Amino acid sequence: MPNLDELLSIKRRLKATEITTTLPSGEVKIEKRADDGTYKEVKDLESFESEPNVSNRRRKKVEYLQRRGFIVDLEPDLVVGVATEDVLFGSQDVAADILILRNQKITNIINVGTGIPNHFPENFQYLKIDILDLPETRIVDYFDEVFDYIKKVQEKRGKCFIHCNAGISRSASFAVGYLMKTQKMTYRQAFEKCRETRSIRPNSGFEKQLREYELELS
């Protein structure tokens, strides 16, 4: 049987133990073993202190990924894509930055992401449609509603900003589809026009629907 000195030596060689638990709400709870053998919840948000604009929801997701060894870019995506002079598009980061929205003279915001609140209802008019970024989602079924909304905004000399979460698939698909319908562009022409100002990549299902939309418009 080990004596006291041997037990202490073994204890010193033990590594700190952390337990990560994902709750049903999606929140990640991290507990660390204390010297007395009990487990206490720890807060490790140092990597976020320099990024005050990161949402709490995104913060928790990034924490979860970082704990599993992923490298996550927390730099806000503030690049604004331009479809036409009065129809812009981009990510949720721009939608949460009132200075950019004001500098761009935005009057109306079209929110087609999931889980993203309308941040400034007192400052802008909103159209909110929850759309999943999945190939099987029928994004073209929402085109008429969004394009009619844009037309009404233009009649009042307003300016629209379309956003989703990442700003590369859903909002870009609306921007591309809008150019196809109003500017008589092909899918490839509209895609390249939008890509001049912002990196875009509609998912495979959206691309297929946009190509079919081109045939429908021709």
CA distances from 131 to 43, 124, 136, 163 (A): 33, 21, 11, 11
186: burial class by Cβ within 10 Å (0-12, 13-18, 19+)? middle
DSSP 170-217: HHHHHHHHHHHHHS---HHHHHHHHHTTS-----HHHHHHHHHHHHHH
CA distances from 103 to 20, 80, 125, 159, 162 (A): 42, 11, 16, 12, 16
Bridge-partner residues for 19, per DSSP? 31
How far is it, in rounded angstroms, from Cα 70 to Cα 76? 18
Catalytic residues: 164
